Amino acid sequence: MTPFTVSYTGDYLDAEGRLAVPDIALDLYDAHPSVRVDYLRGQSPRPDDATYQSRLYSLEVSATDIADADGIVIFRPWVKASTFANGAERLTVIGRAGAGYDKIDLAACTANDVAVFNAPDTLTHATASSAFLLMIALAKRLPQQERIVRSGRWDQQAAAMGIDLPGKTLGIVGLGASGRELARLAAPWGMRIVAFSPRADAAEAAALGVALVGSLDDVFRKSDFVSLHNRLDASTRGMIGPRELRLMKASAYFINVARGEIVDQAALVTALRERWFAGAGLDVFEHEPLPADDPLVALDNVILTPHWLPSTLDAARLTMTTMANGIIRAAEGLVPAHVLNRDVLDRPGFRAKLARFAVTTDPLRTHR
């Protein structure tokens, strides 16, 4: 079989060159000796590089990076039009290790005959359960309760009383996979669930016990908990600003496990500082990593996690299994599952690239 080189982005490694993520399913390649694993080490941290963490979420895959790779698995770096400054003679597939692909220029990939696939379902439960965890922690005022014990101020117990979920309204923005899973998790808790999701199927929502509302304003105005689960794109970037936040009840909580750029973070800081509503739980931020001196860090009514809460060992294994299986299919001349830029499949350039590895008479047979 023709050798197939897959390069994982360098942020999978630590400063000593070891895997920073415990399990990225490399064992699945053992039965496929034609697949050769490498890393884009130019993106890896160095022991003497104090700026690496601040640059981590702005790393880019360069034209040099793709020169010797047949496939690339992306963790955090961007794939931009500049990635293809020298073309993409070898590169055939890119795997995005997660569901979101807002950092990948799909049009540029298609124009350079590169198929992009993702792992759309592997983080669904992990993301939804993270939102649910933040909701419960906020409702029970967990950070405040913990501070009472750590400071020895048991006299402040009454000031940290929380609320229960039954009878409260959960508002979900984006009734996609993780939004639907959150609705399923919340259903046994006796909550009323509403959602704003223009493309949602009304019958499917009803089967989940979710009432679709006509506007984003309805969600913010009616809910005791607002949780974001929508995709980041041009239409949703900055869609949550001071006007929407002003609509929330004074007793309500705001949760974001989607993308930080959906929210005007400066407005959110003002809202939390001035107590427009009770508090927030955030796993994502407008600029990542969140600087240690960011105003959010100083606030006592927000729970902050480092865009990592859904990244459980179980979810990581599922995600990286999807990546490895997609690479293995490409290495056998087959189209991976979950291709995002489907138009590329009909392009002669892509067909020719994939045919180099074909071990079947039907190289475009897709996995279903």
pLDDT at position 361 is: 53
Residue with tokens 């890896």: 44
Which residues are bridge partners to 368 per DSSP?
A: none
For residues 190 and 168, give the distance between their C-alpha atoms in angstroms, rounded to a whole number. Answer: 8
Query: Quick check: is 287 catalytic?
Result: no
> Would 218 be classed as within a structural domain?
yes
Task: Among 265, 280, 304, identify where a domain stops.
Answer: 304
Q: Residue 111: is it exposed, middle or buried by C-beta count within 10 angstroms (0-12/13-18/19+)?
A: middle
The answer to whether residue 366 sits within a structural domain is: no
Same domain, 14 and 106: yes
Per annotation, catalytic residue among 76, 307, 329, 338: 307
The single residue of 96, 125, 259, 338 carrying the catalytic annotation is: 259
Are the C-beta atoms of 257 and 130 separated by less than 8 Å? Answer: yes
Of 304, 328, 346, which residue sits at a domain end?
A: 304
In contact, 340 and 117? CB cutoff 8 Å = yes
Selection from 17, 80, 10 nearest residue 42 by Cα: 10
Tokens read off for 211: 């009432």
CA 72/CA 5 separation, integer angstroms: 8
CATH code for the domain in which residue 287 is found: 3.40.50.720
Assigned domain for 156 exists:
yes
Burial-class residue 340 by CB neighbours within 10 Å (0-12, 13-18, 19+). middle
Average pLDDT by stretches of 10, the chain with 368 residues: 96 96 95 97 94 94 97 98 98 97 97 98 97 98 97 96 98 97 98 97 96 98 98 96 98 98 98 98 96 97 97 96 98 98 98 92 50
Q: Is the domain of 161 the same as that of 111?
A: no
Instruction: Pick the closest to residue 11 from 40, 44, 42 (CA basis).
Output: 44
Q: Is 307 a catalytic residue?
A: yes
Name the domain boundary from 285, 304, 323.
304
Residues 141, 154 within the same domain: yes
Tell me the helices (H) and strands (E) count for the chain, helix number first: 11, 12
pTM: 0.92
Q: Are residues 141 and 285 in the same domain?
A: yes
Peptide bond preceding 33 in cis form (omega within 30 of 0) = no
> 251 with 339, same domain?
no
Catalytic residue among 231, 237, 273, 288: 288
- 131 and 95 in a single domain? The answer is no
The answer to whether residue 368 is domain-embedded is no
Map residue 40 onto helix, strand or coil: strand
CA 80 to chain centre: 18
Q: Cβ distance 296 to 270 under 8 Å? A: no
φ, ψ for residue 91 (rounded to 5)? -60, 125
- 232 shares a domain with 330: no
Does residue 142 fall inside a structural domain?
Answer: yes
Total number of domains in the chain: 2
Kindly state whether residues 103 and 147 are assigned to the same domain. Answer: no
Regarding beta strands 302-304 and 279-282, do their DSSP bridges make them parallel or antiparallel, or are they unpaired?
Answer: parallel
- Position 32 in a domain: yes
Residues 153 and 105 in one domain: no
Beta strands in the chain (DSSP E): 4-9, 35-40, 71-74, 93-96, 115-118, 169-173, 192-196, 210-212, 225-228, 253-256, 279-282, 302-304
Q: Is 288 a catalytic residue?
A: yes
| Residue 268 structural domain | 124-304
Residue 201 near residue 179, CB atoms below 8 Å: no
| Three-state SS annotation for 42-98 | HHCCCCCCCCHHHHHHHCECCCCCCCCCCEEEECCCEECHHHHCCCCCCCCEEEECC
R_g of the chain computed on alpha carbons: 22
Instruction: Tell me the two tokens of residue 359.
Output: 């071990």
172 shares a domain with 143: yes
87 and 200 fall within a common domain: no
Q: Is residue 362 part of a domain?
A: no
User: Does residue 137 fall inside a structural domain?
Assistant: yes
Separation between Cα atoms, residue 264 and residue 61, nearest integer Å: 28
- Domain identity same for 150 and 238: yes
In angstroms, the CA 321 to CA 316 distance is 8
Structure tokens at 284: 């994502």
Which single residue is written with the structure tokens 């020719």?
352
